[in-house]
Structure 1
Amino acid sequence: MPSMNPDGFEATTVHDCYYSEGRFNKNGEDLNRNFPDVFNSNNVTIQPETQAVINWIQNETFVLSANLHGGALVASYTFDNGNPATGSLRGYSRSRDDDVFIHLARTYSSNHASMYKGNECGNKPVFPYGITNGYAWYQLKGGMQDYNYIWGQCFEITLELSCCKYPPASQLQAFWNDNKAALIEYIKQVHLGVKGQVLGRHGQPLPNVIVEAKGREHICPYRTNRHGEYYLLLLPGSYVLNATAPGSGSILKTLLVPNSPENFSALKYDFVFPEVSTLARDASCPTKSLYQDFESISAAVKPTLHFLALVTVLYTVFK
C-alpha cells in the first residue's frame, strides 16, 4: 500500500521538515489515531481509508508487516497504548510477545545504515539501539500497529525513516541504499516460529480453531483462517502450543523451535482433531476498552484433551 492517506499528501502545500498538514485526510482526521482501540474507547468516526485497511487486514492472512513514517529515525513496536496490566504505570506497555517485537525492531535498526545509532535526528529523543516501545515514546490511541497485532493476528512495527517529514526527491536513492538491507532482513523474519494447519480426521481444514503458545495468549485469541492455517511468530526455544476447537477440547504439543529464518521456513506442525463439532465463527474479539488481566481473555487455557509429546528438532541455532 503506497499511501494510506493520498488525499492528505496531495493537499499539502507547505513541505516543512518538522510539520505536515498532510497528516490529516479530507475530513480533518488523523488516520493513525482512527483505528479501534482495545484499551480506550477513542470515540472516533472510522474514516473510509481506515475502514478499507481494516477490511484488507480482516480478509487476508497477514503475518508480519511494517508501516513507514517520517519525522524520526527509529523502529517503534507495540503497544502504543496500554493500561496497568501492560505496564503503563511504569512507562512501558508490554505485549505477551515483547521479546519478538524487540527482535523485529532490532533486526531492522541493526541492518539500517544509521538507525541503530539512536540519535541521528539531533533534536529528537535518543533511542538505544534505534528502537523504542511505542508507549515509552508517547501514548497513542487508535494506532494501526496495535490494531494489526490485536485484531489482525499480524505482528507490525512502525518504521520512522527520515528526520525530515518531506525529504526532497533527490534523496530517494540514498534512502533506498540506507534501507535496502534492513527491509530484506526484516521480511525474512516472517519465517520465525511455527506454522501449520488444523485438520479433522478426514483431512479437512478446520477454521476458527484457537492456536496459541502457552503463556502467550493474546487479547484476541489467534485462530486458524478459512484454510485451517495458523502462524505464530516465536523466537528459538521450547514452547507448548495449545489448539482449542470450540466444543471439541484441546490438543497440547511441545515443540522445539529452531532459528527458522536461516532456512527460510518456519517450523511446520499440523494438528489433527479425531472428533470435531461444527465450528461457527466466534466473534469474541473485543470492541470496547477491556483488559486488566490477560489471563482471563483466551479460551485456550484449560485443555480437556491432552496429546502431549516432545518433538526434537535440530536446534540450528516493520508516530
Structure 2
Amino acid sequence: MHQTKIPLIYHPSYSSLALPEDHRYPINKYRFLYQAIKSKYFHLEGHPFTEPKSKAVSSDIIAKTHCPAYVESLMKGTLPAAKLRRIGFPWSEALTQRTLTSTGGTCLAVEQALECGIAIHLSGGYHHAHYDYGSGFCVFNDLVIAAKHALELGAEKVLIVDSDVHHGDGTATLTENEPAIVTLSVHCDKNFPARKPASDFDVPLLKGTEDEEFLISFKQVVDLALRIHQPDLVIFDAGVDIHEQDELGFFNITLSGILERDQWLLDTCMNQDIPVACVVGGGYRSQHEQLVPIHMCLIDSAYQVWSRRKKEQK
C-alpha cells in the first residue's frame, strides 16, 4: 500500500445515458456520488483519492466471456427487441459506449487493487448478464470479465463477493466451469431473478431480514470462503439495494448495517493482505440523489481503513 491515494474510477458516461423519465434505473446516481466524493474528500491535504479515470474495454475482450454473436449484435444495434426488453434499456450508441467504459472501469479497478490494495469503481456490478443475453439492466458481466482479467495478470484465484440484494445469477452461470473464480452471493430469496443457479456459496435470506441476521450471515460465509480458498483478490459488489428504503429490495437493512458490512469486509481483507476491487452495485430510488448517502458507506469505509493502515505503516 505504497500509494498515497485510494484509486477511484469514474467516467461521465455512467450518467449520460438518455432514458425515459419514469425509467426505474437510477442513471443519475453515479454523477451525484462522484460529486459527493469530490466535495467531501478532494479538498483534503494529500488528496486521499486519485483523479477519476476511464478505460474502455474492447469487444474482443468481452467476447472471451460472452457469446461473440451477442456481443456483435449489441455493438451493431441489431439485438432483437425481446432481448433488449430483457435488458431493460433502449439501444443507442451511448449504451454501448457506457457499457464498454464501465466494464473497462471494473477491469481497471482490479489492476489498481492488485497494485495498491484497494480500488473503487463508481459503477459496475452487472451480475445478471449471461453468456448470450443481458437481463435486469445488465448488458455485460463486468464482474466475471474483470475476474478473468485478474487471472491474466497473475492472480491464481479470485473471489467475487456479491452483496447486492438480487442473486448474481449471470455470474454463477458464467463461472460454473471456472474453478479459479469463486462466486458468493448473499441475497433476498424471494426477489429477482426467479431462477437462481448455484453459486459456489449462496446465502438466500428472507424478505424483511434485518441488520443482525444479515451481518452474521454475511460475515460467516465470507470468512468461510476466504479460509477455504485463500484468494489473491476479492471483487466486492457493494450493492445498497439491501437498504430498508430501497424500492426493489425487500430487506430491512439500515444505513449503519451497510456501513458495518463495508467496514468489516475491507478490514478483513486488508488484515489478510488480500486486495479488494470494489464496485458500487445496485440501489433503486425514484429520487436518485437519495442513494448517495448509502453508497458513501463504501467510500467512507475505504477511507477509514486506508488511513488506519497508512498510520500503522509509519
Is the TM value for this pair above 0.5?
no
Q: Hey, which of these two has a bigger chunk of helix by percent? A: 2
TM-score by length of 2: 0.29
TM-score by length of 1: 0.28
Q: Hey, which of these two has a bigger chunk of strand by percent? A: 1
Larger radius of gyration: 1
